Amino acid sequence: MERHLSEQEIIRRENLNKIIEMGINPFPNETFEISHSAKEIIENFKEGSEDFGSVQLAGRLMSQRVMGKASFAEIQDSSGRIQIYVNRDEICPGENKTLYNQIFKKNLDLGDIIGIKGHVFITQTGTISIHVKALVLLSKSVKPLPVVKTDAEGKVHDGVSDPEFKYRQRYVDLTVNPEVRSTFIKRTKMINAMRKFMTDRGYLEVETPILQSIYGGAAARPFKTHHNALDTAFYLRIANELYLKRLIVGGFDGVFEFAKDFRNEGMSRFHNPEFTMMELYVAYKDYNWMMDLMEEMIEYVAQEIHGTTKVKVGDNIISFKRPWKRFTMFEAIEHYTGIDISNMDEAELRTTAKSLKIHVDDTMGKGKLIDEIFGEQCEHHLIQPTFITDYPVEMSPLAKKHRTKEGLVERFEVICNAKEICNAFTELNDPIDQRKRFEDQLELGKRGDEEAMQLDEDYLRALEYGMPPTAGIGIGIDRLAMIMTNAESIQDVLFFPQMKPEKNKD
């Protein structure tokens, strides 16, 4: 069934048909060679320069002013916009001259993708422009772009302010909002900087399974699917931790992976069901060493992206200059609530949480209660990057017991801009202790905790062969990208965030 067309779409299809009737293919097959970008020309052209005597560009037509035989327009390529000048007596010399004059004046629409050939000059108003000698239509746009207007204060009104439109039709958002493209370029620079930082230290980038018969490595509810050929249930991974540690058992000294993970949980400004994690595991190291590495890496990343260790995020200036502040979890809770919970049992923790007006339920064990108290009472205070260390053993089934503090494990998280951006351990490599921790998780599952871990017999078998002392970390790439790009929502740093299926409006 054909969808309803707007009046503008009808006009564009009429223009499309007229172009076809002229014998011109509005979607040609041939390659169009590009010699320069708009940005390259604008940044490098000087009056009298002969370096840009012949240029070829392709891009989207973003504005057009037809004034008799002379016309001005703007085209936008991946680097930016540039003005073009078209004279009807000079464009497309030869038999196509009349056709292309008519197309340019009457049948081109904003959003059409064109290729041009000409030379660069500066207009009387001082604008660097391209004097077009030849023009070719490369792709016709049959749907109008949102109108972009700038008010007297310089504020842009682009017609893509509605998040529903913005996230669902990212291709339009990227076209009309160049700063959005800049966000994703910075995200890629961030990932490249992290990758370089780790490969320069000799760590091996690897890939591990996304479909797993037993999910693990984190406390989360998974997505479930079915493998027809094997006739068995599989899960989309919630983490890649247990597979990477298997590789440490296998003899690699340092492995890392940029992994797509999936958690079947709520969506918010800071949560998307599909997200990216970078996990790194290094043999013969501990969480103290990993804290130093984390500081060094993120300081390096900020410098690579921004040229400084100071990054503006909302109304705050966040400094990634080393060293960062460090609190134990119990110290942080006492600092922000005035309550020492370090020796409380489950019943006392439940009472304390209720006194702080924190919602709790019977499925929550000791670890979850402490986590809720910390999250509600402490996190929002932590704007500058801060290490929170030494977690209760109940909260950390995969971390090694603390070497000097009974009941705690060697674990840290970094909280920055009031949100966790990474989680790290001195990894538990005792298979006997690990089995007991898994069994404790099974008991929590029986109490109704849908995020409790499963018991992974193959992972326990790997540990039984012996895993060297190891430090591991998982970094939330999307949340770190939010900070590095000053984004308000995780959806702003994902090209295509998850959304409800679109309803047919026709």
Query: pLDDT tens-digit profile of 423-445?
Result: 999 999 999 999 999 998 888 88
* Helix spans in 142-227 (H): 163-168, 170-176, 178-199
Between 56 and 269, the higher pLDDT residue: 56
What was the pLDDT predicted at 150?
56
What was the pLDDT predicted at 273?
94
Place of tokens 């977690």: 391
Measured distance CA(180)–CA(493) in Å, rounded: 9
If one counts every other C-beta atom within 10 angstroms of the C-beta of residue 363, the result is 15
Whether residue 245 contacts residue 427, with contact meaning beta carbons closer than 8 Å, is answered with yes
- What one-letter code names the amino acid at 392? P
Tell me the pLDDT tens digit for each residue of 185-224: 999 999 999 999 999 999 999 999 999 999 988 888 999 9
Kindly give, in sequence order, each residue whose CB lies less than 8 Å from that of residue 407, ignoring residues fewer than 6 positions away. 392, 393
Q: What backbone phi and psi angles, to 5 degrees, belong to 150?
A: -115, 125
**Is residue 153 over pLDDT 80?**
no
**Is residue 149 over pLDDT 80?**
no
H/E segment holding residue 334:
helix 329-337
Domain boundaries, the chain: 7-139, 149-176, 179-324+384-493
What was the pLDDT predicted at 452?
79
pLDDT band at 96 (very low <50, low <70, confident <90, very high): low
What was the pLDDT predicted at 104?
72
Place of tokens 């080393």: 322
Identify each DSSP E strand in 123-182 by its residue range.
128-139, 149-150, 156-157
What was the pLDDT predicted at 357?
95
148-157, 159-168, 383-392, range with greatest mean pLDDT: 383-392
* Across 99-122, average pLDDT: 85
Q: What is the DSSP letter of 103?
A: I
Q: Which of 218-222, 296-300, 306-310 has the lowest mean pLDDT?
A: 218-222
Tell me the pLDDT tens digit for each residue of 391-420: 988 888 889 999 999 999 999 999 999 999
Residue 116, sorted as left (phi over 0), alpha (psi -120 to 50) or beta, turns out to be beta
Measured distance CA(63)–CA(65) in Å, rounded: 7
Query: In CATH, what number does 7-139 get?
Result: 2.40.50.140
What was the pLDDT predicted at 102?
67
What was the pLDDT predicted at 54?
94
What was the pLDDT predicted at 363?
83
Measured distance CA(173)–CA(491) in Å, rounded: 13
Question: pTM of the full predicted structure?
Answer: 0.90
Q: What angle do CA 321, 326, 329 make, to 5 degrees?
A: 145
pLDDT band at 160 (very low <50, low <70, confident <90, very high): low
pLDDT band at 132 (very low <50, low <70, confident <90, very high): very high
Between 198 and 504, the higher pLDDT residue: 198
195 three-class SS: helix
What was the pLDDT predicted at 159?
56
* Across 232-243, average pLDDT: 96
pLDDT band at 99 (very low <50, low <70, confident <90, very high): low
**Is residue 451 over pLDDT 80?**
no
142 three-class SS: coil
Percent of the chain with pLDDT over 90: 74
Between 179 and 56, the higher pLDDT residue: 56
* Across 212-241, average pLDDT: 93
Same fold across 7-139 and 179-324+384-493: no
Instruction: Tell which residue, 304, 54, 94, has the closest CA to residue 189.
Output: 304
With 0-12 / 13-18 / 19 or more C-beta atoms within 10 angstroms meaning exposed / middle / buried, residue 198 is buried
**Mean pLDDT value across the chain:** 91
Highest CATH level, class, for 179-324+384-493: alpha beta
104 three-class SS: helix
Kindly give, in sequence order, each residue whose CB lies less than 8 Å from that of residue 205, ignoring residues fewer than 6 positions away. 195, 198, 199, 255, 256, 257, 258
Q: What is the DSSP letter of 105?
A: I
* Across 272-291, average pLDDT: 97
Place of tokens 């979890």: 329
Instruction: Tell which residue, 56, 122, 130, 128, has the closest CA to residue 87.
Output: 130
32 three-class SS: coil
What was the pLDDT predicted at 327?
95
Measured distance CA(28)–CA(18) in Å, rounded: 16
403 three-class SS: coil
Distances (CA, A) of 50 to 37, 71, 315, 431: 17, 24, 47, 72
Whether residue 105 contacts residue 71, with contact meaning beta carbons closer than 8 Å, is answered with yes
What was the pLDDT predicted at 473?
98
Q: Which two tokens stand for residue 438?
A: 């898994």
Q: Which two tokens stand for residue 3?
A: 């969808």
Whether residue 136 contacts residue 118, with contact meaning beta carbons closer than 8 Å, is answered with no
If one counts every other C-beta atom within 10 angstroms of the C-beta of residue 144, the result is 16
For the beta sheet containing 470-476, the strands, ordered from the edge strand earlier in sequence to the opposite edge, are: 204-205, 254-262, 274-283, 470-476, 419-426, 408-416, 386-392, 325-328
If one counts every other C-beta atom within 10 angstroms of the C-beta of residue 72, the result is 16
If one counts every other C-beta atom within 10 angstroms of the C-beta of residue 424, the result is 26
With 0-12 / 13-18 / 19 or more C-beta atoms within 10 angstroms meaning exposed / middle / buried, residue 12 is buried
Measured distance CA(466)–CA(464) in Å, rounded: 5
**Is residue 157 over pLDDT 70?**
no
